[in-house]
A and B are shown apart, each in its own frame.
Chain A
Amino acid sequence: MYGLNFDVAHFLAGSLVLVSLLQLYQVRLYALVNVFAAHAAILALSVGWQAFIQNAPHLYVTAFIALVFKAVIIPVALHRIIKQLGLQRGVETAVGVGLTMLAGIALVALSMVVMLRVTETADPLAREDLAFALSVLLIGLLMMVSRRNAVSQVIGFMSLENGLILAATGAKGMPLVVEISVAFSVLIAFIVIGIFLFRIRERFDTVDVQALDRFRGDQS
């Protein structure tokens, strides 16, 4: 309909949503980390393709960061953390997997309805990209609220950030400042998370956020 450029971009962004949904039914931590690595790799491809069709070389930098940092370094580090801390290998869910999947599908439908309706005047590529990006973002949020382990919440947060980068690169000509800052803040965010994971480990035998709730001071 719109030619090859559009089809490939569409395919990649769609795959990102699909992998987001895949994350929702992973019940083992290692598998979840691996799916996240795939998520980041697809993001890198998608950003790379946007760089190519928009003729915007600075986007290759973003793609490169996504590939090296998010698809390789972070998954490897998370594998290490899981092993060294001897975390439980299972993912504890607050809501059942079936229900989460249904909610995920509903969120995708919601973002399509919202974004496609309000962006009628925008160019078709950016439009679809925004709709997909919102789906990825909402699924990331869903994952953060439906999981109990700190590690899976962190992964939920990072896939949410992937959705943001998809949106930022889809918006043609968005200033470079933002992409760098996004990548940079992810880095900072991860350092913070790392510190927290270790601190939590120091004090508790679990990285399970539920365990933290027991220590709440003000039971009301």
Chain B
Amino acid sequence: MIQPIDAVSAVLAIPFVAAIVLAVLPGYKLTSRLNVLASALTFAAALQLLGDRPEPDAYLLIDDLNVVFIVLNTLVAFTTSWFSATYIAHELESGRLTPAYLRFYHAMYQVLMFSMNLALIANNIGLMWVAIEVATLTTVLMVGIYRTHQAIEAAWKYFILGSVGIALALFGTILVYMAARPAVGEGADGMVWTVLMANAHAFDPALLNVAFIFLLLGYGTKVGLAPLHAWLPDAHAEGPTPISAVLSGLLLNVALYAVLRFKLLLAANEQAIAPGPLMMLLGLLSLIFASFMLYRRRDIKRLFAYSSIEHMGIITFAFGMGGPLANFAGLLHMTMHSLTKSAIFFAVGHISQIKGTQKIADISGLTETHPVLGWGLVLGVVAIAGMPPLGIFMSEFLLVTSTFAREPVLAILLVFGLLLGFGALMLRVSGVAFGEPKGSTAPADASYVPMFVHLAIVAVAGVYLPAPVVAWFQNVAKLLG
């Protein structure tokens, strides 16, 4: 690497520098454009990682697994910043945010991107922990940015539960170090991924088991797995909608990535417990619980927050079951969910701005008054509910068939949860999209491109996956064991 700046540093440096610049520059038009620009550049840098991959050093690591996450992360971050630019302009007009807060908002957005990318790239379990903690704290501040009663309550709840999760995860991290110490030796090596993975077979299995329980509960809180999900619906509903999109589409994935890494570590030690069944249990529990909860939602953002819990449950279940097919389904589902859920939040963000409310009962007949937004939302919900032939149907189908082959009883529960969620979403969206129009019919000043780009990818993925992508995902699925 004789280049002045390689792609890995760029993925970290661009958001970092952008955060500082955006914190000092005035004027929301300029800063929101710069925000988009910085996110686009980060995405471009992430794409380069696909091709040239530097050797891992003591702190940073790029391998097949995290490249998937990084590319997805930067892509959604880029489209969300695009959506955010129009969304924020409206918030400024309606006076919900002041210019000073906007400056803070944009800086925080980039800090969040920086910390998420760092968590994904880190080759050191301590560094990864720090990055996830920073990401948590930034989102706490973003959720509370409107400073209404509800927003503060949501942020406080998120902060308390998130900190507890983070604390448990740190304890787990310390235990991993303790388990590794006899094999790896003292000092910095005891926290480096590549070293840990190479020596995992010699670790103390009992300590490793306890460590994994703490890590699963700790990072699982951030994934939003039931019964540790209580922060998630409030945080999604009360913060600005771009943040809901980033939370659902990205931050949950980053936490899941941490769990996956430690699962690999346990799998490399033959005497340790199999981590899979625990993850399957939590995954199924989240899926079924969230599907039931979907029926009782009255707030549209909360509805989709519960849907995120449901889908994170499905993904955790898939990775917990393991094997090439289920892992492939899990990866595909994660990608599709990120894209679809953020597209839905883009639509919901504009809709709730036009209607001035998030109450499901006060929104209806969208396809008549705002055809583009309304049909976009319908398409998104149809996709997220798992209707064929869209992308999420593909991954759910793969998962269900591989579960039937291996665990028929669990497959029945899985299908039950999926159908339950499907019914709830269809019921709710039909009320919102069709029927007698209610509320304001003011024309939408929306940016449709991000939403339809996401939905187009999801729709195409349902019928045709390019061969290189399939090979890539298969390779990662094999890696995940």
Q: Which residues of A contact B (CB under 8 A)?
A: 114-115, 117-122, 126, 130, 133-134, 137, 141, 144, 150, 153, 157, 160-161, 164, 167-168, 171-175, 177-178, 181-182, 184-185, 188-189, 192-193, 195-196, 199-200, 202-204, 209, 212-213, 215-218, 220
Contact = CB atoms under 8 A, between A and B. Distances in A.
Interface stretch (B41-49, B169-177, B328-336): B169-177
Interface residues of B, number: 53
Contacts of B167: 137, 157, 160-161, 164
A171 B181 contact: yes
Contacts of B299: 217-218
Nearest to B192: A175
Interface in B145-166: 147, 149-150, 152-153, 155-156, 159-160, 163-164
Given A157-B164, A212-B149, 6 more contacts: A177-B188, A178-B191, A185-B130, A189-B163, A200-B156, A216-B234
A202 B148 CA distance: 10
A175 B134 CA distance: 19
6 contacts: A118-B209, A153-B160, A171-B177, A185-B130, A215-B153, A216-B150
B163 A196 contact: no
B300 to A, nearest CB: 11
Contacts of B152: 196, 199-200, 203, 212
B164 A144 contact: yes
A215 B150 contact: yes
A168 B174 contact: yes
Contacts of B17: none
Contacts of B160: 144, 153, 157
A121 B149 contact: no
A141 B164 contact: yes
Given A157-B163, A199-B147, A217-B150, A130 B178 contact: yes
Contacts of A118: 206-207, 209-210
A118 B126 CA distance: 22
Contacts of B206: 117-120
A96 to B, nearest CB: 22
B275 to A, nearest CB: 16
B137 A173 contact: no
Contact of A175 (B153, B164, B188, B233): B188
A74 to B, nearest CB: 16
A171 B174 contact: yes
B143 to A, nearest CB: 11
A196 B126 contact: no
B124 interface: yes
A177 B358 CA distance: 44
Nearest to B130: A181
Contacts of B177: 171, 174
A216 B298 contact: no
B310 interface: no
Most buried by A among B124, B175, B298, B358: B175
A202 B170 CA distance: 33
Interface of B: 124, 126-127, 129-130, 133-134, 137, 140-141, 144, 147, 149-150, 152-153, 155-156, 159-160, 163-164, 167, 170-171, 173-175, 177-178, 181-182, 186-188, 190-191, 204, 206-207, 209-210, 233-234, 237-238, 293, 296-299, 302, 358
Pairs A-B, 10 closest by C-beta atoms? A173-B186, A215-B149, A118-B206, A212-B153, A178-B126, A175-B188, A181-B130, A220-B296, A167-B174, A218-B299
A195 B463 CA distance: 49
Contacts of A114: 210
Contacts of A184: 130
Contacts of B174: 164, 167-168, 171, 174
Contact of A137 (B124, B171, B296, B358): B171
Nearest to B296: A220
B126 A192 contact: no
A172 B181 contact: yes
Interface SS, A side: helix
A157 B163 CA distance: 8
Nearest to B209: A118
Nearest to A119: B207
A144 B234 CA distance: 19
Contact of B190 (A126, A161, A174, A213): A174
Contact of B156 (A181, A212, A218): A212
B178 A216 contact: no
B171 A134 contact: yes
Contact of B140 (A144, A160, A161, A192): A192
Nearest to A185: B133
A140 to B, nearest CB: 8
A4 to B, nearest CB: 23
Contacts of A167: 171, 174
A33 B209 CA distance: 36
A203 B178 contact: no
A129 B167 CA distance: 17
Nearest to A127: B178
Nearest to A140: B167
A85 B137 CA distance: 24
Contacts of B155: 196
A72 B207 CA distance: 35
A119 B206 CA distance: 7
A179 B293 CA distance: 41
A85 to B, nearest CB: 15
A147 to B, nearest CB: 11
A216 B167 CA distance: 26
Contact of B182 (A121, A134, A185): A121
Contacts of A168: 170, 174
Most buried by B among A126, A157, A202: A157
A119 B150 contact: no
Contact of B137 (A181, A188, A216): A188
Given A118-B209, A189-B163, A192-B141, A182 B296 contact: no
A115 B179 CA distance: 12
A218 B238 CA distance: 11
Contacts of B147: 199, 202-203
Contacts of B175: 130
Contacts of A182: 170
